[in-house]
């Protein structure tokens, strides 16, 4: 299993949806990549990713995190493939978050910065409810 961990900034407010008896939170993040080329030129690139977070972690995340906040996420890449209404094949790679750590000052609560939440759900690892 491939996992990644990174410091990122939310590009939009998280959205919480009910799925049966549980919840899913969808949000986007931006991750900066900095490197120096062989000729000495410094380069900075920004990469954008969609993320999802399930169950209790989703409820906690949407309560304490907003667009522009920094978080550290530990996540696994996921792949979805489908056909759209016109019959075109579509696909998407996104990250399913297992844990997150609050980094930015928390404007909405009394929860201290730096708290972590483990949202790993072993049973729902390969679920695709939508």
Q: What is the pLDDT of residue 126?
A: 47
Instruction: Domains for the chain: give ranges and CATH numbers.
Output: 4-118 (2.40.50.140)
DSSP 62-81: HHH--TT-EEEEEEEEEEEE
In the structure encoding, which two tokens stand for residue 126, read together? 């390969």
Rounded distance, CA 22 to CA 59, Å?
10
Enter the pTM of the model.
Answer: 0.75
Burial of 41 (0-12, 13-18, 19+ CB in 10 A): exposed
Could you tell me which residue, 42 or 127, shows the higher pLDDT?
Answer: 42
Q: Which strand (E) or helix (H) includes residue 61?
A: helix 55-64
Given a cut of 80, is residue 103 above it in pLDDT? yes
- The reported pLDDT for the residue numbered 108 is 54
Cβ contacts of 13 within 8 Å, gap of 6 or more:
27, 66, 67
What is the SS3 assignment for 109? Answer: coil
Please check whether residue 77 is in contact with residue 123, taking contact to mean a CB–CB distance below 8 angstroms: no
Q: Mean pLDDT, the chain, as a whole number? A: 85
């Amino acid at each position: 299993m491939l996992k990644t961990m990174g410091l990122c900034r939310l590009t939009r407010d998280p959205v919480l949806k009910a799925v049966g008896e549980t919840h899913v939170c969808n949000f986007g993040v931006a991750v900066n990549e900095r490197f120096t080329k062989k000729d000495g030129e410094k380069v900075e690139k920004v990469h954008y990713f969609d993320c999802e977070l399930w169950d209790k972690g989703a409820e906690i995340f949407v309560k304490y995190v907003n667009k522009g906040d920094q978080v550290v996420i530990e996540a696994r890449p996921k792949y979805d493939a489908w056909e759209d209404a016109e019959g075109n094949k579509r696909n998407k790679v996104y990250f399913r978050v297992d844990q997150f750590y609050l980094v930015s000052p928390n404007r909405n609560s009394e929860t201290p910065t730096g708290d972590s939440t483990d949202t790993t759900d072993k049973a729902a690892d390969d679920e695709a409810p939508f």
